[in-house]
Amino acid sequence: MKRPISFEIEKRGAGLARAGVLKTPHGEIKTPAFTPVATKASLKGIAPSQFKELGVQGIISNTYHLFLSPGEKLIEQAGGIHKFMNFDGPIMTDSGGFQVFSLGVGFGKKVSKFSSEEMFDFVNPTDGFTKSNIAPVVFDEEFSTSHGKLAIVDDEGVSFTSHIDGSFHRFTPERSIEIQHALGADIIYTFDECTSPTADHEYQKEAMDRTHAWAKRSLAAHRQDPAKDASQGIYGITQGGRFEDLRIESAKALADMDFDGYGIGGSFSKQDILGILEVVDNELPEGKPRHLLGIGEPEDIFIGAAAGIDTFDCVVPTRKGRTGCFYTHAGQIIIRNAEFKEDFSPIDPDCDCFVCTRFTRAYIHHLFRTNEMLGPILGSAHNIHFLTKLTANIREAILNKRLGAFRDEFFGTYQI
């Protein structure tokens, strides 16, 4: 049966780098590509009618957020996420795994471990928990006092409280797929367990094994709905944390399942993951597309593309942009700084986006200093364009067999 997602490699570069075309039911993405994050079915400050101008070929949206508000049923009722947000291009939805753990547990904070027995005190026994079916889990140690965040993992799935209203919910692989079917994106992801960056090898291995089991269950749940299986592609997410042996094991395990593509996940410092991308991509089927989940600043995109990543997403560019940190070919600038008050040059003289061709640093400095809405809008737009254009240029470089030379040129001026 013809799959809804297909991928063609147009040209191979040095090492694992490749330029290709990812075909989806809502159009193509020429890769490598930066596909920005529209967390709640909205790219911050940007209407879908502006996507083309900003070089946005596709986006990724968040299952966890859309599940909580407005709810997947409403989006299904609207005719799916494309109609809901009025974007007719390729859309992915992640599985919610990352958000359940990061928002539920307080990712990135100091964590501590709780035993299964300790965990039992937090769960609702009517949900079917027993002391033996709850896995030990790492928690933000302040969860019970500061914000009541809570996520409890067991072999069946994860129970968690909403970061919005504290309401209690439960995701299983089957439930995540059910929600993603209702949302109706072109590409959906398997439900995975995101561990803490400080998790040890033992816990990481345990979580990875659970992630593999959940990947199988996610795939089975997807296949069970032939209409959805025919209209939505599914990517498996590999995990394994910062441990190379686990990364290889995870990539092999996922490669053995019949996915349309692969997401490379992980809740840990990006230095760790980038170093082992080649290891992972070497194990994944060469002809399938690969998405690097949640990592995509300029230096990451160069490393990722060289290691065979096809698509990237990251909230950092829009978050930085709307708070006044702009990418330029010389590095990042904080536009509020006094040095830009009388600077009548564009944000980036080497950029052709509408922000750089129409407005000066002095004007945008003024917008941020006086809290005008237009400032964050321009910041979001410019940074998105900067990354889509950079990735398009990386693609061109791969097609022309000069990725290394282009990287040297870029970092000849760009200061991290």
Residue 192 is among the residues annotated as catalytic for this protein = no
- One of 109, 116, 363, 393 touching a second copy (CB under 8 A): 363
Judged by CB under 8 A, which of 23, 210, 290, 365 binds a second copy?
A: 365
CB 288 within 8 A of CB 263: no
What percentage of the chain's residues is helix, strand, coil (to nearest 5)? 45, 20, 40
C-alpha to C-alpha distance for 376 and 231, rounded to whole angstroms: 36
Nearer CB in complex with a second copy: 120/359: 359
Which entry of 281, 313, 343, 350 is annotated as an active-site residue?
313
Tell the smallest beta-carbon distance from residue 90 to a second copy (Å).
19
The backbone torsions φ and ψ at residue 248, rounded to the nearest 5 degrees and listed phi first, read: -65, -45
In DSSP notation, 361-397 reads HHHHHHHHHTT-THHHHHHHHHHHHHHHHHHHHHHHH
Q: How far is the CB of 209 from a second copy (least distance, A)?
A: 35
46 counts as binding a second copy under rule CB under 8 A: yes
Candidate ranges 17-25, 263-271, 373-381, 390-398; the one touching a second copy (CB under 8 A): 373-381
Footprint of a second copy on 63-122 (CB under 8 A): 65, 69-70, 74, 77-78, 84-86
Give the 3-state secondary structure of 93-160.
ECCCHHHHHHHHHCCCCCEEEECHHHHHCCCCHHHCCCCCCECCEEEECCHHHHHCCCEEEECCCEEE
Contacts of 156 (CB under 8 A, 6+ apart): 128, 133, 172
Q: Near a second copy by CB under 8 A, which window of 155-163, 239-247, 273-281, 376-384?
A: 376-384
Which of 88, 94, 225, 245 is an active site residue? 94
Are 13 and 398 contacting, i.e. CB atoms less than 8 angstroms apart?
A: yes
* 165: Cα within 13 Å, side-chain hemisphere: 6
Shortest distance, CB of residue 126 to a second copy, whole angstroms? Answer: 29
CA distance 391 to 17: 13
Element (H, E) at 33: strand 33-34
Q: For the CB of residue 62, give the shortest distance to a second copy in the complex, in Å.
A: 11
Query: Does residue 41 belong to the site contacting a second copy (CB under 8 A)?
Result: yes
Number of residues interacting with a second copy: please give it, by CB under 8 A: 41
In this chain, which stretch among 171-179, 211-219, 303-311, 371-379 interacts with a second copy, using CB under 8 A?
A: 371-379
Does 370 bind a second copy (CB under 8 A)? Our answer is yes
Q: Which x/- pattern over 294-333 shows residues binding a second copy (rule: CB under 8 A)?
A: ----------------------------x-----------
Contact between 335 and a second copy (CB under 8 A)? no
Question: Hunting for tokens 């760009």 — which residue is that?
Answer: 414
| CA torsion angle 18 304 55 402 (round to 10) | -50
Rounded least distance, CB 124 to a second copy, Å:
27
44 binds a second copy (CB under 8 A): yes
Complex with a second copy: residue 59 or 253, whichever CB lies closer: 59
Q: Per-residue x/- mask for a second copy, residues 52 to 71, rule CB under 8 A?
A: -------------x---xx-
**Is 313 annotated in the active site?**
yes
Q: Which is nearer to a second copy, 82 or 149 (CB)?
A: 82
- What is the largest distance, in Å, between two alpha-carbon atoms of the chain? 66
Q: First CA to last CA across the chain, in angstroms?
A: 46
> Is the Cα dihedral 75, 77, 80, 86 positive or negative?
negative
Regarding 352 and contact with a second copy (CB under 8 A), the answer is no
Q: Identify the helix (H) or strand (E) that includes residue 236.
A: strand 233-238
Shorter beta-carbon distance to a second copy: residue 301 or 355: 355
Q: Are 104 and 153 in contact (CB under 8 A)?
A: no
Shortest distance (Å) from residue 169 CB to a second copy: 17
Q: Which residues of 326-360 are buried (b: 16+ CB within 10 A; e: fewer)?
A: bbbbeebbebbeeebeebeebbbeebebebbeebb
Min CB(91)–a second copy separation in Å:
14
Judged by the rule CB under 8 A, the positions of this chain that interact with a second copy are 40-49, 65, 69-70, 74, 77-78, 84-86, 322, 341-342, 344, 354, 358-360, 362-363, 365-367, 369-370, 372-374, 376-378, 380
Residue numbers annotated as active site: 94, 313
